[in-house]
Structure 1
Amino acid sequence: MMPKRVIVLCYRKIIGLNAVKAWDKMVFESSYLEFKMQAQNFSVGTEYTSYAELLHNLPGARRLNGMVTPSVTGYVQQLNGIMPDLLNNLGRRFLTFKKFKLEIINSDIIDMAKHQVAISFYSEPMVWHDTIGDFLLVSDHLPENQLPGENNKAITNLIQIQPYLNISSLQYLN
């Protein structure tokens, strides 16, 4: 018998000036305002305005990621633990998450157009049963996902392999 493969998926959602969806726009604006406020603590008395300049020249500027994160936490909570954008083969959102991480990709205190962030969402552990073409066949890694009286049959989902979706961890269980 083949060992059970338990995986965690990571979806990296990039949000910038051209965001179209309302949620994305709110995250963009909120994270930019917070970046602008927090970055000023590092840039006072310097000519540095961009995130890259701050990182390159000022110790501790990497902390800005963590300092900006609270500005998006409320918006992430609005997702109710369901990853945005990713759909199963039936067109339904199904991937759950508990953990996320905000990353500032680029920004500038005086130019909002340069602001870009990524939010990485980490799925709950799930069983990876097979790969079918460019789809992963997965099921929840929870005993309650098994159908009652069905001899270990599980409710499954097919999810297409796509840009910004990654298997972030893999564990083999006997």
Structure 2
Amino acid sequence: MKKSVNIILSIFLISSIFLTNPKNSYATNTVNITFDDGTKKIIKKYKKNTTISLNYMPKSPFKDNKYHWFSGWYTDKKLTNYAYDVKLKKNRTFYGKWYTLNAPKIAISYSKDRHPIIKTKRDNKYIRELTIYRATSKNGIYKQVAYNKTSFTDRAVKKNGNKTYYYMVSSAVFTGLEWKYAHSKILKVK
């Protein structure tokens, strides 16, 4: 009797393995999500029909790392359809978007009465701070002379005066996690 029960149980177990609906297996209840940050792809498995927040932050793929920040994930290669909370129904790829904070440009001209006019511009719409600095030596202490202005006439300085001055522009963005800064070249006024 024990032998026949064991045989029946064995047949039942073996047949259940072959008759199981593949849709009920773990493999078909998961989806593969690919995160393509522009330089590498990472694939992660998730349960099907769950909602996830796309808060995975890749490391910067750029060598300098100083002037780049991650903007978020998009559902298309053209980076136009932003995605954050997503219900996972099938295998998908999300594309990462990066922004670059370039060193600000600096130019100088002079007013009619020979005061230097320092000019700059915002490299992109994400720049939150734009600061113009002046120092009395190239490696000296730079003091702020204008904040969030793209043009500044320095009435304290005259061209062909008896002192030399140096100007620099700093731009900054807040990435949501940290501040990123970029600095212009240094201009000399004598």
TM range (shorter): under 0.3
Greater radius of gyration (CA): 2
Q: With structure 1 as the length reference, what TM-score do the two structures score?
A: 0.27
Answer 1 or 2: which has greater strand percent: 2
User: Which has the larger share of helix?
Assistant: 1
- Structure having greater relative contact order (Cα 8 Å, sep ≥ 6): 1
